[in-house]
Structure 1
Amino acid sequence: MTALSGPAEHLALSLTQGGMQRMTARVLAALLFTQEEAMTAGDIVEALGISSGSVSTALKSLSTVGLIERVPAPGSRRDHFRVREGAWARLMSGQNAIVTVMRDAAEQGIRAAGADSPAGRRLAEMRDFYDYLWRELPALIDRWQTKQADQAGPTTQAD
């Protein structure tokens, strides 16, 4: 089995500890650490020494959440994949659905436990936290995207 480099394996382990499936984390690490612009599923199978089924499942999962994309490769009939530009902001934008689910669950818990109960007070803190995230996350992502665009600056060619 071919292993990822130390830093890539560390990243994959960190992603796994954060809740990502192990093979999905390894595939994402391979795509992040490759020196190529994109990789085919076969390239990933070879690099990681894992089954094509595991790679296929991981690629589908990463595509679904918007972290990776298929890209054309002139002269090749195989799909090529790369990490999508702006992937991290896209991923966090997608977290808004989770924020809403958590906030709604806390609100239901407050109604069930009673607002003045110890459980109700704990759940109110949870609800208030997710309310705060709901309000702040879009602006935070917008500021990040503006900062990235400002850093990229205008593209000019030297004479």
Structure 2
Amino acid sequence: MTDDLTDAAEHFALTLTQYGLQRMTARVMAALLFTQQDTMTAGEIGAQLGVSSGAMSGALKNLTELGMIERVPAPGSRREHFRFRDGAWATLMSKQNMALTLMTGAADEGIKVAGPDTLAGRRLADMRDFYAYMLSEMPALIERWRDRGARPQDS
């Protein structure tokens, strides 16, 4: 990877950590996102990041479970190869539906405790209504995005 790409990947990883992603997970994700190779082994990622492949095992597992990366066969190689998944962002947002559901439920519980006609209850109702709206709209939004990817876009 060129120095410019390496710098961009590290900056991207730093941005992700500012929004709560674990540092190593963010760095591994950025390495796979910015690579010019189709796939990378854990050893290649580790060499690029200056860490052992063992230090990355949790990050690789986490990113695989999130649907952001995938293991792929590499004929002639005995090592596992990883790549950034096509459609990874839509997959990630689809999984966010669980977070939206949890936030909606948490707001409902808060309203029960605070009471619907209190200041806190009204704030919580606004929160619940927002997350419920997002939850209802997200599937159609993701579907429109996926449909959009199937045809050429205007530049």
Cα offset, 1:87, TM superposition? 0.3
Cα offset, 1:55, TM superposition? 1.0
Question: 1:10-159 counterparts in 2 under 5 A?
Answer: 10-151=11-152
C-alpha distance in 2 between matches for 1:17 and 1:143: 29
C-alpha distance in 2 between matches for 1:5 and 1:27: 12
Q: Alpha-carbon deviations, 1:131-158, whole Å to 9, x = none? A: 1001111111011000001128xxxxxx
Cα offset, 1:18, TM superposition? 1.3
Aligned length: 151
- Structure 1, unmatched stretches of 5+, are 153-159
C-alpha distance in 2 between matches for 1:57 and 1:43: 16
Percent identical residues: 62
The one-letter amino acid paired with 1:128 is: D
C-alpha distance in 1 between matches for 2:14 and 2:103: 26
The one-letter amino acid paired with 2:26 is: A
- SS of the residue corresponding to residue 151 of structure 2 reads helix
Cα offset, 1:7, TM superposition? 1.1
- Structure 2, unmatched stretches of 5+, are none
C-alpha distance in 2 between matches for 1:49 and 1:105: 41
C-alpha distance in 1 between matches for 2:32 and 2:6: 12
Cα offset, 1:79, TM superposition? 0.4
